[in-house]
Amino acid sequence: MVTNNLRTPLLILASPRTGSTALGQYFLKQFPTATYFPEPDWIKHDPSVMGKFTNNIQSKDYDFIVKILYYCMKWYSDDIRNFLLSPATSKIRLRRRDTVSQMASLYVAMYRNWTYHYLDKSALDIKEIIPVKDDQNMDWVVNEILVANKQMDESNLKFDLDLYYEDLPALDETGFNKTPLPLNYEDIKLAFAKKLNR
């Protein structure tokens, strides 16, 4: 992964469940003075997170890394969005080749009360079976991932780095651990493969 052409402000545009939050943390090694904003628009954040991020841009403090899900750019004001998508930022596109695993990962997060990140290594030994139901939740996951991926694939932005989850370096030192898989993870993947006729 050649990164010596990157600079701050650094924008990571991603699809869901691609390791993008950990990737942003990884880049703090390259830009140790930068402030990292993982999804400042996220509804579970304190609103002050978005305020601080916006203030950085308005005050021209551009030493930051921001990770945003591409389809969430609509939540940003026109001036912020125009700045982020302008040549002023280095841009990374992060996708995932294995769409079935991407959907299964989002499904697991949903059934774990929207748990996306595992920072505590002692909490990784999860032995559970997650119900697999062909219902509106599964339909929502399929639609969410397909729409997000289509927007990413069709973007005409000039990216400084184009990455896939499957090609990422080891992100062990970022503090983010891979999502522990339920015992029936392969069954979940099979259900999504059937939905996609794969």
pLDDT of the residue at 49: 87
Q: What pTM value is reported for the model?
A: 0.89
pLDDT of the residue at 123: 67
Query: Residue 4 falls within a domain, yes or no?
Result: no
pLDDT of the residue at 117: 65
* Counted domains in the chain: 1
pLDDT of the residue at 170: 82
What is the domain extent for residue 190? 10-195
Percent of the chain beyond pLDDT 90?
71
Please check the confidence at residue 15 and state whether its pLDDT lies above 90.
Answer: yes
Residue carrying structure tokens 């399929």: 142
| CATH number of the domain bearing residue 42 | 3.40.50
CA dist list (Å): 51 to 48, 80, 174: 5, 12, 25
* Average pLDDT of the segment spanning 93-115: 91
Query: Residue 5 falls within a domain, yes or no?
Result: no
pLDDT of the residue at 23: 95
Which of 29-38, 84-93, 124-133 is least confident? 124-133
Query: Residue 120 falls within a domain, yes or no?
Result: yes
**E strand or H helix at 99, and its extent?**
helix 99-111
- The CB-side HSE value for 45 (13 A sphere, CA atoms) comes to 13
Query: Residue 3 falls within a domain, yes or no?
Result: no
How far apart (Å, rounded) are the C-alpha atoms in residues 19 and 177?
A: 10
* Average pLDDT of the segment spanning 166-193: 87
Query: Residue 115 falls within a domain, yes or no?
Result: yes
How far apart (Å, rounded) are the C-alpha atoms in residues 15 and 3?
A: 20
